[in-house]
Amino acid sequence: MTTAAATGHDCIVPGCKREGRNRLGVRCRIAHDGPTLFPRKGKTAAFFSPDAEAYLCDHHALAGATITLFFEPNNSKQTTLRVVAAATVEERTTDIKQPT
Ligand SMILES: [Zn+2]
């Protein structure tokens, strides 16, 4: 029996059956003290902060993760937040042989 009935959301981690009680989102914050395009917004105010339709259980919210963010400009005056949860992504780093 899943525990997702309280919020109606499952954790996005593949194979996890816990309740997704924590919502993922992204913010674009003002990171300077100079004049901004929005005079009433000061440093750390957000230009946008969309939430995703993606939820984590308490365990996965606290267990640690690697987040890869792709920013794809599209001139739509909107933000779309797409979350892809992967259980395993193979990553390999190799040295490039340098000329001597
Ligand atoms: Zn989970």
Tell me: the pLDDT tens digits for 43-78?
A: 888 889 999 999 999 999 999 988 888 899 999 999
The whole-angstrom separation of Cα 60 and Cα 7 is: 16
Gap from CA of 20 to ligand 1 centroid (Å): 7
pTM for this prediction: 0.74
CA distance 41 to 31: 11
Cβ(51)–Cβ(22) below 8 Å = no
| Cα(22) to centroid(ligand 1), Å | 10
Higher pLDDT, 58 or 34: 58
Give the pLDDT score at 39.
Answer: 78
In the reported structure, the alpha carbon of residue 41 is separated from the centroid of ligand 1 by a whole-number distance in angstroms of: 36
What is the Cα–Cα distance from 14 to 50, expressed in whole angstroms?
23
pLDDT for res 27:
92
Cα–Cα distance measured from residue 41 to residue 50, given in angstroms and rounded to the nearest whole number? 17
Specify the amino acid at residue 17.
Answer: K
The confidence score (pLDDT) of residue 90 equals 75
Q: State how far Cα 69 lies from the chain centre.
A: 7
Q: Indicate if the pLDDT at residue 7 is higher than 90.
A: no
Average pLDDT for 29-53: 86
- C-alpha 18 – ligand 1 centre gap (Å): 5
Q: How many angstroms is it from 33 CA to the middle of ligand 1? A: 39
Strand partners, 56: 22
Residue 88 alpha carbon to ligand 1 centre in Å? 14
Q: Distance from the CA of 50 to the center of ligand 1, in angstroms?
A: 21
Can you give the pLDDT at residue 2?
A: 47
